[in-house]
Chains A and B, each alone.
Chain A
Amino acid sequence: EPEVTQTPSHQVTQMGQEVILRCVPISNHLYFYWYRQILGQKVEFLVSFYNNEISEKSEIFDDQFSVERPDGSNFTLKIRSTKLEDSAMYFCASRGQVNYEQYFGPGTRLTVT
């Protein structure tokens, strides 16, 4: 069964460093998403991406964040200058054109020290 994959599973970085989180969505999906979950809190929407552009973003997704689909398979989330409060699980999701259910990856645990 096709699945969304994410790398790395755990990333530790120092405050102020740039990080890139990588996702490989399901191959025939066209809509892509990033969510995050701070430990013990709700899953929060960050951004949606379709047709090579951002279709919606939340207040959390400020100028420090960017997304890119550099080739036909990867979907990346970049945090330019990490802050302690960026420590969280980051989930990538994708969905197809016909069905609206989203399929989530296993997540990347980002720890900013």
Chain B
Amino acid sequence: DAKTTQPTSMDCAEGRAANLPCNHSTISGNEYVYWYRQIHSQGPQYIIHGLKNNETNEMASLIITEDRKSSTLILPHATLRDTAVYYCIVRVVSNTGKLIFGQGTTLQVKP
């Protein structure tokens, strides 16, 4: 699975959009971009995933660049409860389906 690079930490004001970047310059054609988050030692929580088109669900939007070498997770109106570590994971969808977590980005939402 391709390697990802994320900033170690970010701050965001409550009510504002949080934009979390991820670089995955070695991504291959059959690899998806997944985002999970982990709120204070709870189990990781699935947020969203995409292959090449932008995706949106009730939690977030995922913007993938045309060359697929980077992506941005957008939380449109961040709340204090969105404070968490956010993981960008690039992987081939396979039967095994294991997730390889990096260090992620610690997002601190401030009042």
- A: residues with CB less than 8 A from B are 4, 31, 33, 35, 37, 42-45, 48, 50, 55-56, 58, 89, 91, 93, 95, 100-107
A95 and B97 form a contact (CB under 8 A) = yes
- On whether the beta carbons of B96 and A55 are closer than 8 Å, the reply is yes
- Report A-chain residues with C-beta under 8 Å of the C-beta of B101: 42-44
Q: Mark B38-81, 1 if CB is under 8 A from A, else 0.
A: 10011111100100000000000000000000000000000000
A56 to B41, CA, bound (A): 25
A21 CB to closest chain B CB, in angstroms? Answer: 13
CB distance from A35 to the nearest CB of B (A): 8
How many angstroms between the C-alpha atoms of A103 and B45 in the bound complex?
7
By the criterion CB–CB under 8 Å, are A4 and B43 in contact? yes
Q: Interface size of B by Cβ–Cβ distance < 8 Å?
A: 21
Report which B residues bind A (CB closer than 8 A).
32, 34, 38, 41-46, 49, 87, 93, 95-103
Instruction: Establish whether residues B102 and A101, one from each chain, have CB atoms under 8 Å apart when the complex forms.
Output: no
Interface residues of A: mostly helix, strand, loop or mixed?
strand
Cβ of A89 and Cβ of B97 under 8 Å apart? no
Residues in A neighbouring B99, C-beta threshold 8 A: 33, 35, 43, 45, 102
Q: A100 with B93: in contact, given A33-B98, A45-B100 (CB under 8 Å)? A: yes
Residues of A within 8 A of B95 (CB): 31, 50, 55
Pair A48/B98 contact, Cβ less than 8 Å: yes
Q: Can you list 6 A-B contacts (CB < 8 A)?
A: A33-B98, A42-B101, A50-B95, A55-B95, A55-B96, A89-B41
